[in-house]
Structure 1
């Protein structure tokens, strides 16, 4: 009975894990300074590799470069999530006690913020800023242009580009 493609893939990923897990964990720990988070991201990296069937063959040619790339993306997402959560907590801390939403609403709002951030991933910084200012702060385009130091036409283009990008992300 021969080995199926799925068996071969699982065996390749297992070997990749055995040969590189310790190295990847140490690499992430050096970047993060936190062993538990580094271990979590290392595991997430290998799960991502296992799920990416088409990329696995490339990974086996240059395993550490591939793992560092995948882990680096996960690390950037980790820090971005932390930044969003920190900013949200700062906003809550500055709200009057009577206006602070319930814990359930806070969790839903935080999840929505993370989803919006993920949806806007891949857009330039000014495009994201213009979109957020227009949609969530409800600022007029002229004020956005002034704050970003760009033309009114640029703001219109940024918001339109973000809208098209978000529309393409919706199911």
Structure 2
């Protein structure tokens, strides 16, 4: 983007921010019950818009609140999924015997890895995601997965290929 277009996009985003930030934070706060979380997601919303901003595209938004709500909703879902992964992880830690407890550093690394894995697999349909996780996290064979999920081994093999393609695609795009 040229510096002129960049300036126009910045001005359009600034106007969008000034006019609608308070509304967006209030909308998010009603859904999250957290002023800080709402403010963070609102900020992430504007940063996401800025990252993909084109001057004309921002100026042509006819329903800015609907546009902001759509972007914010996607970010909120991602945020809630991360919280869900974190809660499940912390709950599973409570069931470990004390002698196998992880250090705080190891917990943080493992949680970060789980969140990254969740993001990698977010675009997969639920059955493919389940098969992939059963294989990669639980160490089940394709035959065991097929039996558990009432699928053929060939279908599990296809699901696994899709899971690996998804991971590779995202990793290569980064």
TM-score, structure 2 as length reference: 0.89
1:7: Cα distance to partner?
Answer: 1.5
Once superposed, what is the RMSD of the aligned Cα atoms?
A: 1.8
Counterpart of 1:6 in structure 2 is 6
Q: Is the 8 A contact 1:16 1:60 kept in 2?
A: no
> Residue 13 of structure 1 aligns to a residue in which SS?
helix
Q: Is the 8 A contact 1:20 1:64 kept in 2?
A: yes
Counterpart of 2:162 in structure 1 is 161
C-alpha distance in 1 between matches for 2:94 and 2:65: 42
Task: Specify every segment of 5 or more residues in structure 2 that has no aligned partner in the other structure, as ranges.
Answer: none
Kindly indicate whether structure 1 or structure 2 has the higher relative contact order, using CA contacts under 8 Å at least 6 residues apart. Answer: 2
- 1:72-123 deviation line (CA, Å, top 9, x unaligned): 1100000000000001101111111111111111111111111111111211
User: Is the aligned partner of 1:22 residue 2:22?
Assistant: yes
Superposition misfits of 4+ residues, deviation over 4 angstroms: none
* Larger mean Cα displacement after TM superposition, 124-133 or 149-158: 149-158
Task: Specify every segment of 5 or more residues in structure 1 that has no aligned partner in the other structure, as ranges.
Answer: none
C-alpha distance in 2 between matches for 1:56 and 1:16: 13
Counterpart of 1:133 in structure 2 is 134
- 1:42-84 deviation line (CA, Å, top 9, x unaligned): 1111111111124871573321111111101100000000000
